[in-house]
Structure 1
Amino acid sequence: MNRFTLSVSAAIGRVTESALGPYQSAVIRIGFSATWLLFLLREFPHREELYGPDGPWSWELARQLIDNNGAFTALMWSDGRGWFEAVYALAVLAGALLLVGWRTRTMSVLFMVGVLSLQNRSVFMGDGGDNVLHLMSIYLVFTRCGRVWSLDARRTRRADEARARGERFTDRVGPALWAVLGFALVTVTAAGRLDGDWTIPALLWAAWVAQGLWWAVGRSAKSAEPRILLDVIGNVLHNGALVVIMAEACLIYATAGWYKIQGSRWQDGTAVYYPLHLDYFSPWPALGDLLSSSGTMVMLVTYGTVIVQVAFPFTLFNRRVKNVLLAVMMTEHAAIALVLGLPFFSLAMIATDAVFLPTPFLHRLGGWALRARDLVLSRAPRKDAPRPQAPESPEPTHVGFPA
């Protein structure tokens, strides 16, 4: 009993004392924001047909659907072309700033608003990756995904250096941004624009209040206990969100694999063969013909896909096998992007898989990125480039908004 109690206490301490997986959360932040940003930029010339006033799914049809399902979208606040352009620009800006890790707590909320606003406006625009992005944009709000590989991490290091020199580091941008967004939130709430399902409005208000509370406690608390309590809550939410993301990935693969087993199309190989000959999924017809010309290749792809998807959730208990299957699945998604012309679906799934990447590999990946940056900037590559370390102290080191 004592051993069990000690194990439970150690597990609780591990979950509450630190935000686990800082590199994994940074990778999924970069992956999903890059996927969304690239999609918005590629479709920029067609944005009005996809999500705007010129689309076949008109504003009136979207209004009728949203009145029934209560989905959140800022594009339903006005049917004007100017408002649509403003929301689209906000989605692009939030995706870019989240990608570089600037004010990640705030940008993750705006990123979610942009994703939900566009996707819920035109629900038939997507290739499957939009569903994953839809869910992950909500989960990212709960993560502390800017602790490494971000501008927030650099700002934190500079604050620590200033504190070590005995200087005071005051964050003025964070409170100003909080005040502006708070005014906007109060305005749309008073105007009745957040009517309908309460989930997203409640999340917006909770995030805004939490940001203000963090800043107020960090600025005025005389003791460390309130700051530690808020940090523990943040760590629990972050770690819980990572678990949900992992469970979501396992659920996606498990359900896909088991449904494939039940279908005759995946038993006889036609589920792989036919898409290779459809014009919609054939950006490189010669490549599709080459792959489908070999019955052995079609059989290996068909049964290999099913086996990997069904087996992956069970391989989490063995790190080596998990890493092998993880590499296979990422390679498979890259092949889907190339052969079937579904780049954004593949990028979304690769970003989801990245939550399972081992930390030592991510350390090496960070080192490679630093060397590549040095080469691009015509610097001498640093052989012993320091690895960006995630903060280990549960206490904030400066007065400001959290990363």
Structure 2
Amino acid sequence: MSIKKTIDSAASRPVAALGVSGTRALLGFVGLMYYLSHYGDRSYLFGPGADSVLPHRLFLEQIQEKGSFSLYAWSTSEVWFEAVFHLGVLAALAVTVGVGGRAVLAAHGILLWSLYERQSAFLDGGDNLAQLVIPFLLLTNCYQNFSFSSGVADRVVGRLPGSVRALGVPLHNLGVVAIAVQMCLVYVVSGLYKVQGDVWQDGTALFYIMRVPEFELPGLSNLVYNNDLLVFLGTYSTTLFLVYFPMGILVPSLRPWTAAASIAFHVSIGVFMGLTAFALTMIACDLIFLSSALSRARKLARTLRERWTQKQPGSIPTVTDQDAPESDAPAPVPVPQAAR
């Protein structure tokens, strides 16, 4: 295939549409979980009162030193604090269920950033990735699946000139590739840092990590760090997986297996170390590599559902869209899309 045809194909066929929608929904859920888990103590943890963990004066000094911003820094009013906090809850919920489109997604990103800046003591690293990925999601059509559409956005887009509408697919693919590149950088940089550590080189890192009180799971962690073989295999397999993750993603036949291994890896981090938000954020971004696998699973579920429905007494055969072309069809270009 010529370079021109390859470029035309990449610019005319959206990739990972199902996976990127899952990324949006799961990132929204992580933000919603963060809001609700601290809801009862919100005034003490984030409020502007004198009895809060971080007094408003010190908070303003931190913001100025970092050159950052936060909506919570605009006023010391309790009314303002409650309004911004509850707007954040509603925005996170809307992003999770797929309501409001890109405008609400952008608002969610700003509100969540503001909350993270207000109190950074509870962050576990997943917040950094989320704040990097949300702007990329704004380029994508991440509301194509797992969402509720009012039709307003479609009518607005329909009024745009054709040349502007034609940019939708290239921008979508650009956003997907940007997320994929960001994920590869996260894995490789993390792996290379580990390679330089003595405890990772001698295969004992997992022993020390799982004995940290904050990251220990009583009754299970000791079964791992007291087993020399599990510690050895866990330490070296983690390093190898992180360093060679991009190679697994670049090979289409290995891509879904690499993403599935990454998800299993972060599920174990969430269970054993309690870093739930971090684990779910990483899993959300891994979904773009599983888009075609998710499409096949959805098509199989529709087929099984139709067969089960037709076997029921009195059922009426219906026409389904299981044979309709999927938007996640693999394109003959090196994009983060699992091959069929």
Which of 3, 6, 14 is the matching residue for 2:9? Answer: 14
Shift of 1:144: 1.5
Are residue 38 (structure 1) and residue 15 (structure 2) matched? Answer: no
What are the residue-to-residue correspondences of 1:106-121 with 2, within 5 Å? 106-121=103-118
TM-score by length of 1: 0.71
CA offsets, 1:11-66, max 9 Å, x none? 33234334332112101111111111112112212323333234432222221232
Change (3 A) 1:365 1:337: farther
Aligned mates of 1:331, 1:366 — CA distance in 2: 24
Are residue 298 (structure 1) and residue 231 (structure 2) matched? Answer: yes
Partner of 2:243: 310
Partner of 2:138: 141
Greater helix percent: which structure? 1
Partner of 1:223: none
Are residue 340 (structure 1) and residue 250 (structure 2) matched? Answer: no
Change (3 A) 1:55 1:125: farther
Aligned mates of 1:323, 1:383 — CA distance in 2: 32
Instruction: Mark the runs of 5 or more structure 1 residues left unpaired by the alignment.
Output: 157-170, 175-210, 220-225, 393-403
Partner of 1:48: 43
Matched residue SS, 1:45: coil
CA offsets, 1:356-391, max 9 Å, x none? 11414334147649989xx9xxx9999986459777
Which residue identity does 1:40 align to in structure 2?
A: Y
Change (3 A) 1:83 1:27: same
Change (3 A) 1:360 1:332: closer
Which residue identity does 1:130 align to in structure 2?
A: D
Asked if the contact 2:256/2:290 (under 8 Å) is kept, the reply is yes
CA offsets, 1:234-288, max 9 Å, x none? 3332221111110110000000001101100212334211232222112x31101
Aligned mates of 1:100, 1:22 — CA distance in 2: 16
Are residue 321 (structure 1) and residue 254 (structure 2) matched? Answer: yes
Change (3 A) 1:391 1:319: closer
Partner of 1:184: none
Partner of 1:126: 123
Partner of 1:229: 163
Aligned length: 318
Partner of 2:331: none
CA offsets, 1:155-203, max 9 Å, x none? 45xxxxxxxxxxxxxx4xx7xxxxxxxxxxxxxxxxxxxxxxxxxxxxx
TM-score by length of 2: 0.83
Q: Calculate the aligned-residue CA RMSD, in Å.
A: 3.0
Instruction: Mark the runs of 5 or more structure 2 residues left unpaired by the alignment.
Output: 329-340
Change (3 A) 1:285 1:360: closer
